[in-house]
Amino acid sequence: MFYNIYTGAIDDYTTFAGTKEIDGYKWSYIIGFPMEEVAKYNFYYLPKRLELNIVKAAIYLLVTPIAVILIMGYIFGRSLTKPVYDIITGIQQLAKGNYDVNYKEKGIYKEVYANINNLSHQLKLNERERKKTEKMREEWINNLSHDLKTPLSSIKGYSELMADGDYPLTDSEIKEYSRIIKNKAIYMEELLEDLKLTQVLKVGLVPFNAKKQDLVELLRSITIDVLNNPKYEKRRVQFNIGTEPIIFSFDKNLLQRAFTNLIYNSLVHNDEDTEITINIDKQEKIYIEIEDNGRGIPEEDLDKLFERYYRGTDTGESHKGSGLGLNIAKQIIELHGGTIDVESTRGAGTKFIVTF
């Protein structure tokens, strides 16, 4: 047992003094330890202020961490919630039709920003395409209305002449007027049939009755029918066969409509001395080419050639139609699992390539 501890009595030593009873004898002792091993420090305080100091220490220990937590929470929360707010605002802008949303792709929401930017870009392209299609549709409706009014006017005019008892008609005049009325009615019927067909093809409601048949025979019969048309009987159409027969599963009525549209497109948009060549062959796939050496198609028309409602920039008054012929052909060919491409050089001709 020791009673006193001294520091500084011996330099760099802490000194202990005390007594010890051993075998009935009392001994006194002094022991010193180096201060790096054993040290003594004095702490002085006022007992009256101890309670206040404890309260202050508790406040410092509690308030400071809480303040730090709140500040860090605000900073961290702001770094999380502000991007979320920006993202929600951006989505609301897209929903309102404002597609000029663009974010810097950074931070933990980098992928979200990138996806919103991609969505904004795609919606902008879709809106541009929608406006272009809407404009083409309006132009097409105006053109179609005009195309229908013209034959209707002829039908109405000749019908009134034939019904007018005060104006005697000869038999030859009656036949001629009747022929004109019939042709105008057929023309109107074809326009309306094109419109109906493109709509049912678009929604997938067209009856599709495919069975294995000879594709060569179909193209041969189409070519014969075209040349039997008095309007085109003097036109030159060359038919080349690489392999015969070519058995393929197809709907005869639909595919006949598609290839007829393609052949007539080459006939009506070119001069009478234009030669048309039809090539058909089968290798790993079936290839059909409808080629002419006519005027060719302007470059600005090529990308839009198969779009609904589109009429080429060089389509004149004598080449009026529904503007749906090539679009119908494309839809029918794709319905059969095929593809159609076009190559054209202005002044050198055009080639349609159908692949099954």
174-190 pLDDT tens trace: 888 888 888 888 878 87
Q: What angle is formed at CA 348 by the lines to CA 347 and CA 350, rounded to 5 degrees?
A: 110
315 contact partners, CB below 8 Å, separation of at least 6: 269
Cβ-contact 36, 58 below 8 angstroms: no
Of 245, 198, 190, residue with least CA distance to 218:
245
3 state SS of 31: strand
- Taking the chain (356 residues) in runs of 10, the rounded mean pLDDT of each run is 64 81 84 78 68 75 78 69 75 79 77 82 83 73 70 83 80 86 83 75 75 92 87 86 88 89 88 90 92 86 71 49 75 91 88 93
159 contact partners, CB below 8 Å, separation of at least 6: 181
Shared fold status for 124-203 and 211-315+322-355: no
**What single letter denotes the amino acid at residue 321?**
G
**Helical axes 171-203 vs 110-163, angle rounded to 10°:** 160
Q: Where are the domains of the chain?
A: 2-34, 124-203, 211-315+322-355
Question: Tokens at residue 267, please?
Answer: 């006939």
End-to-end CA distance of the chain: 109
Cβ-contact 356, 341 below 8 angstroms: no
Q: What angle is formed at CA 199 by the lines to CA 193 and CA 203, rounded to 5 degrees?
A: 145
Say if domain 124-203 classifies as CATH 3.90.850.10.
no
Q: How many other C-beta atoms lie within 10 A of the C-beta of residue 303?
A: 10
92-125 pLDDT tens trace: 877 777 877 777 887 777 887 788 888 888 888 8
Q: What is the DSSP letter of 97?
A: T
For the domain made up of 211-315+322-355, give the CATH fold: Heat Shock Protein 90 (3.30.565)
Query: Within 13 Å of residue 160, how many CA atoms lie on the same side as its CB?
Result: 6
3 state SS of 102: coil
β-bridge partners, 14: 7, 33
Cβ-contact 187, 154 below 8 angstroms: no
